[in-house]
Structures are given as structure tokens and as C-alpha cells.
């Protein structure tokens, strides 16, 4: 869906890399993100880092080498690097040389770790070894000591644009996610939702959850929800229950390459019952995501023949906003000008 002059990927933004538990101390983990090969690691002090996954010597993935929590050693000629990606030793070079190894550096990506989640900043240019992020990492709602639980990771067989549209599209919910305990097509109603711009996207203003979702009625007390979408692909649902409790449910999309996108779902709840209900809650979340994955598999077959697609009316308005936000973000990066959000406050209607 990218237009000429526009690329599929948005750069100079933070992407969800993984839940913090998936990065083990003293271990390396290879990932592909936005088509880039990246090696993540967690050092002996529990600090996460990310480097370009190519040895500067002959390009072998550093993730194939050895790591002891301090030094990464390439598996080919044994060059050694510290956690910052600076070369500290080349074993084959005799000691009485005058080569300054520390001038050899592996590109290091900015990393942000908060609430047990790991985020990576993907710059548009890697000219400097020490890239400075142009935007702050995403706002995760929680206090610093609160931790997200990990619900699920799946690989959608679709590019980031289709994946985002699948995430923010309200109309598929009735047909993809219908099940006896959630919704039924018999109870469809006209919904009216108010939207406002946010720094990198838009939000559905705080409202009482729809009463044809049984999933919500199990939460006692006065509840309200606010749903935010921001580029590159983060959907945050913030539910307030009475005056004391909150639930934060975040779905993130990280492009792996042009054909695949990783979806992650993380969850936080201050309700004490969550501890006991975690297993069924996790299963419910996984079932939901499995339903999306199911329709995405069908979609990817359909897209093989390159059909013409359309975005129609208010149910598809958010998808149009996404495309417009994306276009303006890319223009702002190319011209080095501030991003101006094109979304205006407005009300949308749809039937679900």
C-alpha cells in the first residue's frame, strides 16, 4: 500500500522488541526487525543492548559467536567486542602492532527498557555510531515498578500496513472475534465514538465500554476505557475500574520484513484477582490473537493475486488516518521538519 517515494517502514521511531523475560542475562538473541539483522543481548549487570548483527570484519552474524555477559566473540576469526560494540581485541594480530582496535565499532541501536518490556529505536541513517533518538519512547501508562505480563507473540503473514489496519479496523471484530462469551452478530448496534489526535496518532476518547461485550461486564464497578493508536503500530487500551484499579492492555506490531509482522500483546492489571485469573485471561487473549492470525492467513492467500483494495466510509476512517499519518511522518523525516498530526477531533460511527 506504500505509494511511490514512500517506504513501507517508518524510521526514527521506537519499536517493541520483546518482553523483558525473553532476554536472558548473559545471552544473545538474533532478531530481524524492519529487514535489519539485529543481535540483542543482556549483560552481566542485566542491562539490555542491541547491535547490528554483522561482524565488521567479514560480516558473520555476531549472534553466532560466544558471549559471557561481558565480551562478544565472533565465531569466524575471534574478534572481540564489548557490550557497546567496540572492538577490544583481534586475536590474530601480534601484540606489538599499532592498530587501535577501539576505532572498529559495530552499530549500536538505542534501547529502552521499561515495565519489563524492551524497545528499540530504528534510525533512518546509521552515520553515527552513537545515534540520538529524535522521539521519546512510547508512554506505557504504568509506574516504573509495575510490570507487564506477556500474553502472546505471533507472526502475522502480512506487511506492517495490513497488520496495522487489521489492528485498528473496528468492523472485523463482529466476524473474526465472535464467540459465545464475547459477542454475537445478533446484537449488532450503531456505535458512536469520539476521536482526538495524540502526539503520534489518535485516541478514542474515554467512554463506558459497550454493553454488548460480556468480556467487560465481568469487571465490577464503574469502568471506562480509552483506546490509543500511535505509529509505528501500538494500540493501547487503558481501562479504569472504579477509582482504584486499572488494566492496561497493549498490542504492538513490529515489522520483521516486507512479508511478516510480529504481533505482541502485553497486559497489566492492578486487580488482585488477576493473579488467580491469569491463566484463563492469557488463554482468552491468545484465542483472540489466534482469530486474527486465522483471518490473516486467509488474507495473505487473497493478496497473492494483487487485488485492488479499498477503504470505505467511517469504519475505515482510522485506516485512512494511519496512511495519512505515515505519509506525513515520512515527509517530516526526509525534510527534517516537525511532524504535524493530520487528524482532527471528530466522531465516527459504525455497526458492530
User: Contact residues for Fe ion (CB under 5 A)?
Assistant: 292
- Interface with ligand FES (CB under 6 A), residue from 1, 2, 8, 60: 60
- Interface with ligand FES (CB under 6 A), residue from 18, 51, 55, 72: 55
Q: How far is the CB of 180 from ligand FES (least distance, A)?
A: 56
Count CB atoms within 10 A of the CB of residue 7: 12
- Interface with ligand FES (CB under 6 A), residue from 74, 160, 204, 281: 74
Half-sphere exposure (Cβ direction) of 177: Cα atoms closer than 13 Å:
21
Q: Which residue, 57 or 193, is less far from ligand FES as judged by CB?
A: 57
Regarding 79 and contact with ligand FES (CB under 6 A), the answer is yes
Question: DSSP alpha helices (H): ranges in the chain?
Answer: 160-168, 173-176, 214-217, 274-303, 317-335
Regarding 77 and contact with ligand FES (CB under 6 A), the answer is yes
Q: How far is the CB of 109 from ligand FES (least distance, A)?
A: 19
Alpha carbon distances (Å) from 95 to 55, 74, 82, 100: 21, 19, 19, 12
Regarding 49 and contact with ligand FES (CB under 6 A), the answer is no
Q: How far is the CB of 79 from ligand FES (least distance, A)?
A: 4
Nearest to 163 by CA among 279, 13, 272, 264: 264
Q: How far is the CB of 64 from ligand FES (least distance, A)?
A: 9
Q: Which residue, 63 or 291, is less far from Fe ion as judged by CB?
A: 291
Q: How far is the CB of 84 from ligand FES (least distance, A)?
A: 17
The residues, any chain, with a CB within 8 Å of residue 12's CB and separated by 6 or more, are 121, 122, 123, 124, 133, 134, 135, 333
Residues that bind ligand FES (CB under 6 A): 55, 57-58, 60, 74, 76-77, 79
Amino acid at each position: 500500500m506504500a505509494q511511490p517515494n514512500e517506504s513501507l517502514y517508518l524510521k526514527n521511531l521506537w519499536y517493541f522488541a520483546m518482553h523483558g523475560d525473553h532476554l536472558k542475562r548473559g545471552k544473545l538473541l538474533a532478531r530481524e526487525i524492519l529487514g535489519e539483522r539485529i543481535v540483542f543481548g543482556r549483560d552481566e549487570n542485566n542491562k539490555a543492548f542491541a547491535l547490528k548483527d554483522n561482524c565488521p570484519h567479514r560480516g558473520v552474524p555476531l549472534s553466532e559467536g560466544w558471549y559471557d555477559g561481558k565480551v562478544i566473540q565472533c565465531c569466524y576469526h575471534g574478534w572481540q567486542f564489548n557490550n557497546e560494540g567496540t572492538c577490544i581485541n583481534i586475536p590474530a594480530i601480534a601484540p606489538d602492532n599499532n592498530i587501535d582496535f577501539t576505532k572498529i565499532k559495530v552499530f549500536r541501536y538505542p534501547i529502552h527498557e521499561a515495565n519489563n518490556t524492551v524497545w528499540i529505536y530504528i534510525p533512518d541513517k546509521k552515520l553515527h555510531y552513537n545515534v540520538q533518538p529524535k522521539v521519546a519512547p512510547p508512554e506505557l501508562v504504568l509506574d516504573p515498578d509495575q510490570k507487564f505480563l506477556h500474553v502472546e507473540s505471533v507472526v502475522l503473514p502480512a506487511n506492517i500496513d495490513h497488520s496495522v489496519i487489521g489492528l485498528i479496523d473496528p468492523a472485523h471484530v463482529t466476524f473474526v472475534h465472535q464467540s459465545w462469551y464475547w459477542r454475537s452478530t445478533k446484537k449488532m448496534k450503531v456505535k458512536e465514538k469520539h476521536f482526538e489526535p495524540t502526539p503520534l496518532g489518535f485516541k478514542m476518547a474515554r467512554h463506558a465500554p459497550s454493553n454488548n461485550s460480556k468480556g467487560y461486564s465481568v469487571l465490577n464497578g464503574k469502568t471506562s476505557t480509552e483506546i490509543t493508536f500511535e505509529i509505528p503500530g501500538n494500540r493501547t487500551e487503558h481501562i479504569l475500574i472504579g477509582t482504584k484499579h486499572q488494566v492496561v492492555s497493549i498490542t504492538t506490531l513490529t515489522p520483521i520484513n516486507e512479508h511478516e509482522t510480529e504481533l505482541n500483546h502485553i497486559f497489566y492489571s492492578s486487580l488482585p484477582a488477576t493473579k488467580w485469573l491469569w491463566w484463563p485471561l492469557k488463554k482468552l487473549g491468545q484465542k483472540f490473537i489466534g482469530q486474527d492470525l486465522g483471518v490473516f492467513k486467509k488474507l495473505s492467500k487473497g493478496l497473492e493475486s494483487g487485488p485492488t483494495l479499498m477503504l470505505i466510509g467511517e469504519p475505515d476512517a482510522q485506516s485512512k488516518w494511519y496512511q495519512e499519518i505515515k505519509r506525513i511522518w515520512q515527509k517530516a523525516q526526509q525534510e527534517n521538519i516537525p511532524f504535524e498530526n493530520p487528524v482532527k477531533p471528530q466522531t465516527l460511527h459504525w455497526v458492530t
